[in-house]
Structure 1
Amino acid sequence: MNRDQRTDLALIRIVAAREVTRQLRNKAFWASVIVTAAMLCLSFSLTDVLKGDGESPPAVGVVGEGSTVAAALRPQVTVEKYTDTGTARTALRDEAVDAVVLRDGGVLVLRNLSAELGRTIQQAQQTAEQVERLKELGAAREETERAIVPPALRVSALDADAGVVQERTMTAGIGVFLLFTLMLISGLGIAQGVAEEKSSRIVEVLLAKVRAWHLLAGKIVGLGAAALVQIVLMMTAVLTAAIGFGVLKAPLNAVGTAANLLLWFVPGYVLFVTLYAVAGALVSRQEDVNHVIGPVNMLQMLSLAGPALAVRPAPDDALLTVVSMTPGLSWAAMPMRMAVTEVPWWQALAAFALMLLAIAALVRFGGRIYRGGLLRYGGIVKVGEALRGAAH
């Protein structure tokens, strides 16, 4: 590495350090990390509570110690036995049980009987009557026990890994949404920051010390490093909460999916950050930023097409393959596709290489627009004007 190259790297590091410091000192930066992570963790806790409430079986009281109905109910509900009707009524009023089956077959409830629980009690009473008839006919004890408690179902899954795939898909989907939102917010901030430096003429002072491409490269590296800190903190908090609340049954697969998504996000972030920075250099006022970032926003919105295609019933099709290998779209489509189905290694490698080539071309071409647009004032600078300005 020669002296000029060392100087270029040193200047890029200085600009990058400036951007990282500004971001890490920004209260909004930390507020977005805390609020986003807290909301997702809260959603996991609510999911756990609701899941727990839904899985708890109903409780049914049965009057009579030797009731056959109690034995028939036990595989499906929680059974509480009572020696007399008075005790059972008290338990029902205290909501210790949802219903009480009396000795004569009647059912007591506090307010109303759900249709599902009613069917369960009715089936248990029918089973109890059949068992009593078997006993009258002299059936052995083993036969009556088999009638009350049938053998467990032998279940075979055609896709035993369906649960793991579902968790990977959920992790990738949540991750893509988080990273998309972060990229959108960061991109707007980058464009506004570039426009602010240009409108305040600070950029003229900076360009007296460094070249335009030093500023662009430094911004990309610095803001990318700050975003990486933000992402790692959010993903760590979210995955920890998901594992802690039992939402993930295969946490290693989820962690692997998150790491793969982060790997694909880095080049995607660099690509879009460059586009936003270039767009910001084309305006002289912050009020005009929204006019120039529209095309970038639309391209970024298109990147969600991949995840949408991946979660369809038949995701492994030609359209998804093309989308997942297209630069600008592959950062979200390829990790989502890899979470849902097997992807040939050469396709993933080719998609990543195409993304890097697109970044190299964009930095080279976009750097000229960035340089030509920074020192041109008076409304929105057209791309052609910026390119002509960069040639001089």
Structure 2
Amino acid sequence: MSRDGRTDTPTAPRPTSGRRADLALVGIVAGREITRQLRNKAFWASVIVTTAMLCLSFALTGVLKDEAPPTVGVIGERSTVAAALRPQVTVKEYGDAGSARTAVRDKAVDAVVLPDGEVLVLRNLPEDLGRTIRQAEQTARHVEQLNALGAAPGEAEAALAPPGLRVSALLPDAAEAQERTMTAGLGVFLLFILMLISGLGIAQGVVEEKSSRIVEVLLAKVRAWHLLAGKIVGLGAAALVQILLMMTVALTAAISFGVLRAPLSAVGTAANLLLWFVPGYVLFVTLYAVAGALVSRQEDVNHVIGPVNMLQMLSLAGPALAVRGGPDDSLLTIVSIVPGLSWAAMPMRMAVADVPWWQAVVAFALMVLAIAVLVRVGGRVYRGGLLRYGGIVKVREALHGAAH
């Protein structure tokens, strides 16, 4: 009982039916967007073409990487030259100069060393191969001189054999780090292109619904933020399907062709990049959707998405700094924490070197916070711009319209 004698009634719990209804409406809009994307031929064409280009590039890289050493023909009597060449090239011995010349014409060998020291080639002698043959000739001459002075068989070769090298690597995982950097850099570029295409598509879709007055019918059934959230979730899910397909096929091809020596490290880098891409995608897609709500004609789309494109271009500064300036660059550290830029900079920086855990947590938290603020403010702009026609609507006008 209260002080004035009235009986206090317990506050009723807030019903959850409204929240469930909101989620259901967002799900309906998201399902509509997913269906439209998955039925879009251009969507699948981009997946097929991009994946095919990646697989082809990995195949070519694997072939060039596994290129066989050059083959050099030697006349049988030049056994010392053949012995000096074998550690570095494939040697074929011929009984006479005529058969060796035929082998050169038939491209069975890259070069032939004749008994008088002349090197026979089909067109020209590659610089590296010429250097190898020159060193072999010098070694063979020294062996022959030592044998003439009475060296026992095998002693001359043993005396001239180079000593074994004691190798101590300062960066033993340099090759693995290079593969992580390559995976992160290529992934950032592909996701950047995908984000750009998806952003343009969502902006054009919003303008199409607005210019055809379909949005008026939709707003009679759902709220503006239902449309915005549904578009973000639907297009994000479709983009995730696209990314997973491309990454799976590309990584499989890279491992199959031997391009990646540490596949688990590359897969981990790709997964980390995908983790950072999700909030970045949500942020930029929201900006593109809000920008599309400010115009009524497709011709005006490029005018309103220009600032968004510029911000997205700035996100590539992080990977560039990671490659050129190195992981200890102070500017890279700042860029990898700034929301809107961190989605590309932080995973690239993490692929190059170890990053303090607290910096990664702060960067991710700032990104989530920026998305929350953007969805709240952007939702008002989106709502205020959808029902305003004629030219480009200013952000201030859209916010003023949303308040009424």
Tell me which interval the TM-score lies in, with the shorter structure as reference length. over 0.9
Contact persistence 1:60–1:99 (CA under 8 A): yes
Q: Indicate the residue corresponding to 1:350 in structure 2.
A: 362
1:99 Cα deviation from its structure 2 partner: 2.4
Q: Indicate the residue corresponding to 1:201 in structure 2.
A: 213
Q: Indicate the residue corresponding to 2:118 in structure 1.
A: 106
Greater CA drift, 145-154 or 169-178: 145-154
Cα 1:90/1:221, change in 2 over 3 Å: same
Q: Deviation string for 1:361-391 (max 9, x for gaps)? A: 0000111111111111111111111111111
1:243-392 aligned within 5 A: 243-392=255-404
Task: Name which of 21, 24, 35 aligns with 1:10.
Answer: 24
Secondary structure at the counterpart of residue 311 of structure 1: helix
1:216-235 aligned within 5 A: 216-235=228-247
1:89 Cα deviation from its structure 2 partner: 2.5
Q: Does 1:36 align with 2:44?
A: no
1:245 Cα deviation from its structure 2 partner: 1.1
1:66 Cα deviation from its structure 2 partner: 6.4
Secondary structure at the counterpart of residue 73 of structure 2: strand
How far apart, CA to CA, are the structure 1 residues paired with 2:374 and 2:132? 66
Contact persistence 2:294–2:394 (CA under 8 A): yes
Contact persistence 1:72–1:148 (CA under 8 A): no
Contact persistence 2:321–2:329 (CA under 8 A): no
Secondary structure at the counterpart of residue 100 of structure 1: strand
Query: What percent of counterpart residues are identical?
Result: 81
Greater CA drift, 90-99 or 213-222: 90-99
Q: Does 1:175 align with 2:171?
A: no
Contact persistence 2:78–2:115 (CA under 8 A): no
Contact persistence 2:254–2:260 (CA under 8 A): yes
Secondary structure at the counterpart of residue 293 of structure 1: helix
Greater CA drift, 307-316 or 342-351: 307-316
Q: Does 1:49 align with 2:72?
A: no
Q: Indicate the residue corresponding to 2:3 in structure 1.
A: none
1:83 Cα deviation from its structure 2 partner: 2.2
Contact persistence 1:36–1:234 (CA under 8 A): yes
Q: Does 1:96 align with 2:142?
A: no
How far apart, CA to CA, are the structure 1 residues paired with 2:99 and 2:330? 67
Amino acid at match of 2:239: A
Q: Deviation string for 1:321-364 (max 9, x for gaps)? A: 11000000000110000001110001001100100000000000
Amino acid at match of 1:48: G
How far apart, CA to CA, are the structure 2 residues paired with 1:107 and 1:258? 49
Greater CA drift, 294-303 or 75-84: 75-84
Q: Deviation string for 1:19-72 (max 9, x for gaps)? A: 11111111111111111111111111122233334xx22222211256211111
Q: Does 1:79 align with 2:91?
A: yes
Greater CA drift, 159-168 or 1-10: 1-10
Secondary structure at the counterpart of residue 93 of structure 2: strand
Q: Deviation string for 1:60-87 (max 9, x for gaps)? A: 2211256211111111221111222232
Amino acid at match of 2:385: G
Q: Deviation string for 1:194-251 (max 9, x for gaps)? A: 1111111111111111111111111111111011001111111111111111111111
Cα 1:107/1:275, change in 2 over 3 Å: closer
Amino acid at match of 2:92: E
How far apart, CA to CA, are the structure 1 residues paired with 2:148 and 2:136? 19
Greater CA drift, 76-85 or 345-354: 76-85
Greater CA drift, 174-183 or 139-148: 139-148
1:124 Cα deviation from its structure 2 partner: 1.7
Greater CA drift, 124-133 or 197-206: 124-133
Cα 1:284/1:110, change in 2 over 3 Å: closer
Q: Deviation string for 1:148-203 (max 9, x for gaps)? A: 54333332221111111111111011111111101111101101111111111111
Q: Indicate the residue corresponding to 2:202 in structure 1.
A: 190
1:301 Cα deviation from its structure 2 partner: 0.7
Secondary structure at the counterpart of residue 62 of structure 1: strand
Cα 1:81/1:389, change in 2 over 3 Å: same
Cα 1:184/1:113, change in 2 over 3 Å: closer
CA RMSD of aligned residues (A): 1.6
- Number of matched pairs: 390
1:273 Cα deviation from its structure 2 partner: 0.7
Contact persistence 2:70–2:90 (CA under 8 A): yes
Contact persistence 2:206–2:289 (CA under 8 A): yes
Amino acid at match of 2:34: V
Amino acid at match of 2:29: V
How far apart, CA to CA, are the structure 2 residues paired with 1:69 and 1:367? 78
1:142 Cα deviation from its structure 2 partner: 4.6
Runs of at least 5 residues in structure 2 that lack an aligned partner in the other structure: 1-14
How far apart, CA to CA, are the structure 2 residues paired with 1:313 and 1:138? 59
Secondary structure at the counterpart of residue 72 of structure 2: strand
